[in-house]
Structure 1
Amino acid sequence: MPLVLAATMTIGYFVLPLDRLGPRRPALSWTLFGLALVLVAALLLRQVRHVLLDRPDTRPGLVIPVLMCLSVLVFSAAYQALAQHPGEFRGLTTRLDALYFTLVTLATIGYGDITPHGQTARLITVLQILYSFVFLTAAATALSRHVRNAVRRHATSPPPAPREGRTTDPPA
């Protein structure tokens, strides 16, 4: 299910008319960017809190990967919008370039083929690095903790009782 949602969001990123944002509507663009980041961060922190409190209704294996994908796509859309401003980026011309740059920045690889040159592009890149360090690291840690706890519970739980009318002894 998370894979289907992530794929759907990625397809949406490539087909939605995001070109209407950027220099033509800067106030709307910055507002949407800020709101999206705050919303994703709040939802990620909620999931982290639920994992830390070991709430039984927590579904981080479903929610956290989707929110992590969404945060990558939000930064990609921001980079694509910024690339429409002359002098902000070198080498970033398509949505795929923006997604590529976001993932390279997230992975701290930094190939150097796409570089932020404008002050705004550099600011957003720094913001992405800090956002990833704080929110995505916390989310990934919570997700791994949840999986580890689930494996421990499964390993230490007693085997299920046999169903009524059935015995556990093999037939003679």
Structure 2
Amino acid sequence: MSAVLRPLTGATALVLVYYLLPLNKRFEGSAAVGLVLGLAAVAALFTWQIRSILRSSRPRLRAVEALATTVPLFLLLFAATYYLLDQSGPGSFAEPLSRTDALYFTLTVFSTVGFGDITPHTEPARIATMAQMVGDILLVGVAAHVVVGAVQSALARGSADGR
């Protein structure tokens, strides 16, 4: 049961933090640096999680936990960026963004559904959206490949060790 609760609790906590953080700062240089540092933190977390999968006696479970933390963190980082962008420059998007609207837009971009109801209008908003699109491709393609490879490697190691 804890195998299901831990990832669910972690993802829920991340969403709560997103809604509770005082995001009232303008998207200026410091916020852009925050996005870059946040992406670096996501990459560092992902690297640490891959190492954890490789050492784990239950690599499949660790892989689920890793993805249940990394993906929401990545998406919430972009949602916060979009929210701050809109706060600093009304008109950055087709409509004013609440935190929920920013998260909705982030998930729409991530899923490539693209309803078109919220669209980036300014260059900074379009640059952030393009950065998310590239990150989405990397997260889905490369990260999934790395996680699967780590699980397979850990399972092979476990078989060789007689587990």
Settle same-fold status: TM greater than 0.5.
yes
Deviation at residue 22 of structure 1 after TM alignment: 2.1
**Alpha-carbon distance in 2 for matches of 1:45, 1:133:** 17
Residues 86 and 96, structure 2, Cα contact 8 Å, conserved in 1 = yes
Residue in 1 aligned with 2:20? 15
**Alpha-carbon distance in 2 for matches of 1:114, 1:12:** 24
1:79 counterpart (61, 82, 90): 82
Higher share of residues assigned helix = 2
Give unmatched runs, 5+ long, in structure 1.
161-172
2:109 counterpart (105, 109, 131): 105
Residue in 2 aligned with 1:62? 65
How high is the sequence identity, in percent, across the aligned residues? Answer: 33
Deviation at residue 146 of structure 1 after TM alignment: 5.1
**Alpha-carbon distance in 1 for matches of 2:146, 2:9:** 22
**Alpha-carbon distance in 2 for matches of 1:7, 1:76:** 15
**For the aligned residues, what is the CA RMSD?**
2.9
Residue in 2 aligned with 1:170? none
**Alpha-carbon distance in 1 for matches of 2:19, 2:13:** 10
Deviation at residue 150 of structure 1 after TM alignment: 7.4
Residues 95 and 118, structure 2, Cα contact 8 Å, conserved in 1 = yes
Residue in 2 aligned with 1:3? 8
Q: Number of aligned pairs?
A: 153
**Alpha-carbon distance in 2 for matches of 1:14, 1:3:** 17
**Alpha-carbon distance in 1 for matches of 2:69, 2:54:** 20
Higher Cα Rg: structure 1 or 2? Answer: 1
1:41 counterpart (37, 40, 43): 43
Deviation at residue 147 of structure 1 after TM alignment: 5.5
TM-score (norm 1): 0.74
TM-score (norm 2): 0.78
2:109 counterpart letter in structure 1: T
**Alpha-carbon distance in 1 for matches of 2:54, 2:153:** 12
Indicate the larger mover: 82-91 or 72-81.
Answer: 82-91
Indicate the larger mover: 85-94 or 3-12.
Answer: 85-94
Give unmatched runs, 5+ long, in structure 2.
1-5
| Equivalent position SS for 1:18 | coil
Residues 9 and 70, structure 1, Cα contact 8 Å, conserved in 2 = yes
